Amino acid sequence: MIYEPYRNKTVEPIRLLTRSQRKTSIQAAHYNLFNLRSEDIYIDLLTDSGTGAMSDTQWSALMRGDESYAGSKSFFRLKEAVNSLLGFEYFIPAHQGRSAELVLMSHFVGKGQISPGNIHFDTTTAHIEFQGGTAKSFVIPEANDPDNMHPFKGNFDVEKLEGFLKTHSKNVSLVIATLTCNSGGGQPVSLENLKDVSRLCKQYGVQFFFDAARITENAYFIKTREAEYKKWTIRRILRACCDLADGLWMSAKKDGLGNIGGFIAVRNEGLYETLKKYTILFDGFPTYGGLAGRDLEVLAVGLKEATDIDYLRWRTGQVAQLGMWLEESGITCIKPFGGHGVYIDARRFMPQIPEDQFPGQALSVYGYIEGGIRSCEIGPILRGRDPKTGKHKPGLDLVRLAIPRRVYSMNHMRHVADTFIALKKSAGMLRGMKFTYEAPLLAHFSSKFDWA
């Protein structure tokens, strides 16, 4: 057992509604957990984005916020943190990760261009496709096997990527490494793999960027799973990773330990000047990027706190403990366990439900009805439809239990495990779901469902 490297100062009351009340709530939400009211949820594992608890140091820093429209002191404190930790000279705040994606993809992606990655997350794919491009996955085959214990299942298939770049590099907008690989089960990418991809990008003259939302958790896995880096500090590993990239963007609502915010960081001054124009158009002046000065202060502290080895050991250990409880009860999850959540294989959980009846969405709904838990489908609904064929993109159908940072106790995780263990006993009687309304873009956020 691992133990929390913090103690509580403030608590927020939560309550578990009755089963009857939960059934009424989810029906009123059209069986879409995004539509639920937070007060009707007992354990909220919908996302780890912006849902963490801030430290006393972050709360103190918040009071230093300089709310000047341009050139605030808070901007320069966050700029220093980004530069010292990640090594990029040029930095633009953004109000969250997807606004950073809007800026970047508006510049990089043109109609008909391709953006290779390990596995892009949903908003990244949506922004690429919104600009008329195509997001293409080059993750290793082991990523599609939940039982495979490969330590870096977020890795690129370097040979496959090289073959693609040999013939298509002129039509590539940029290569993107998602760290950790969220849609692949929160799986990390090794430093050696990043070195190989960086070499290929330089060889073929294409830009290499990181989606760095969980880059510190990725660094922890490099330290603990990649033998040659076991003696390195987290900060040294972070710099070694970032030195391989032309730039990155980050939803700092994850490993920035903030409730809002993000940024873009690049090396090239000319690119920086170009991207600033988009930020002014979309987010505001480039020294605040849609954020209050107090938000910038919180992130400047949070980025550094996230590199603490005791915090990371607890963070990943809590995830692993929940995963082990589920696996011990015969529930198949993506293994090895990732950094920010446990991913249940919904098709194996309920093999009687056809793929076109969305077992992942159904299991998420049952998790709420059974135990007041809000989770998220990571499957065909989230991946969306292929713009050319109109069919749902292939891949695993998962239920993600994303654990907020520094929020829930192990007793809370025990309740989560007990909920899905109870459901497993009656899994053969559970039903699938159907659309009553399918939203045309990022369907999982606003579609409506009913029982099939």
| CA gap 145, 186 in Å, rounded | 14
Of the listed 122, 157, 246, 283, which one is catalytic? 122
State how far the alpha carbon of 145 is from the alpha carbons of 321, 336, 352, in Å: 21, 11, 20
The three-class DSSP label of residue 105 is helix
Residue 122 is a catalytic residue: yes
Amino acid at 305: E
* Class of residue 313 by CB neighbours under 10 A (exposed 0-12, middle 13-18, buried 19+): middle
Taking the alpha carbons at both ends of the chain, their separation in whole angstroms is 42
DSSP state of 137: E
Of the listed 127, 223, 254, 392, which one is catalytic? 254
Of the listed 120, 153, 335, 444, which one is catalytic? 444
Strands, DSSP E only, in 125-253?
134-137, 175-178, 208-211, 247-251
Of the listed 126, 177, 213, 306, which one is catalytic? 213
Amino acid at 166: K
Residue 30 is a catalytic residue: no
Of the listed 157, 211, 283, 295, which one is catalytic? 211
Residue 69 is a catalytic residue: yes
Cα 233–chain centre separation = 23
Amino acid at 126: A
Structure tokens at 249: 């963007």
Of the listed 3, 28, 56, 69, which one is catalytic? 69
Active site residues: 69, 121-122, 211, 213, 254, 444
